């Protein structure tokens, strides 16, 4: 995968931005002051698809957050993708968060699995097993297994993933995108030490979720 330079605005949003701003400009020309709602929509689309560069922590033991958002789960449970007991940490993204997904660790992708499913609120626990989702099982540089799962949400209708097995990932590398509100589940070895708690706000790449 080519890890394209951060363009500030995610490439996934360019068509939506073109349509939104064209509509706003036309509305301004023909509707005058009634065009304000069109500009509000255009600005919302602009903020949704922002894609800022991030500073990557260098601690080799760190597991980085793959998404912006809020921690909704920190628990021990089964990892159904790697068939093991694991520490699960889930990040919920609302429509005002950056929706680029970034690799939590350095490592090799062992498999990528896509599962069709429902579109219930991604804030709910059942979203992890019922919603449309895409899972990466990664062998990290230290030999540990890390599973990273993109989960669609209530109004998300498209999971984008740009990597495949046996690609190599670099921590902080942009590997996917979810439109328009969703979550990412990370499954770690039981020996991992979580550094976040439920309710914490996190930033993709810059926040360390755990150490292992």
Contact predicate 70/175, CB 8 Å: no
Cα separations (Å) of 176 from 20, 135, 142, 170, 203? 23, 11, 23, 13, 15
Catalytic annotation, pick one of 28, 90, 182, 203: 182
CATH architecture of 62-211: Distorted Sandwich (2.70)
Dihedrals φ, ψ of 86, to 5°? Answer: -155, 165
- Sorted by where each begins, the domain ranges of the chain are 8-51, 62-211
Residue 208 pLDDT > 50: yes
In whole angstroms, give the CA distance from residue 197 to residue 159: 26
Q: What is the pLDDT of residues 109-130, one digit of tens each?
A: 999 999 887 766 666 677 677 7
- Please tell me whether the overall predicted TM-score, pTM, comes out greater than 0.95 for this model: no
182 in catalytic set: yes
Q: What is the pLDDT of residues 85-114, one digit of tens each?
A: 999 999 998 888 888 899 999 999 999 999
């Amino acid at each position: 995968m080519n890890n394209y330079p951060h363009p500030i605005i995610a490439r996934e949003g360019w068509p939506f931005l073109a349509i939104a701003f064209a509509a706003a400009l036309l509305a301004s020309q023909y509707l005058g002051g009634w065009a304000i709602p069109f500009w509000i929509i255009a600005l919302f689309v602009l903020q949704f698809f922002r894609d800022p560069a991030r500073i990557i922590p260098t601690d080799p033991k760190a597991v980085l957050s793959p998404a912006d958002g809020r921690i909704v789960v920190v628990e021990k449970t089964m990892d159904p993708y790697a068939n093991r007991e694991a520490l699960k940490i889930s990040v919920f993204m609302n429509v005002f968060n950056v929706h680029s997904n970034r690799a939590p660790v350095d490592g090799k992708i062992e498999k990528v699995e896509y599962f069709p499913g429902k579109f219930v609120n991604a804030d709910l626990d059942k979203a992890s097993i019922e919603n449309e989702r895409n899972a990466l099982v990664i062998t990290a540089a230290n030999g540990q297994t890390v599973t990273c799962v993109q989960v669609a949400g209530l109004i998300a209708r498209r999971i984008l993933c740009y990597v495949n097995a046996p690609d190599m990932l670099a921590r902080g590398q942009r590997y996917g995108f979810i439109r328009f509100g969703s979550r990412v589940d990370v499954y770690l070895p039981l020996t991992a030490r979580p550094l976040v708690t439920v309710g914490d706000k996190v930033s993709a790449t810059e926040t360390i979720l755990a150490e292992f």
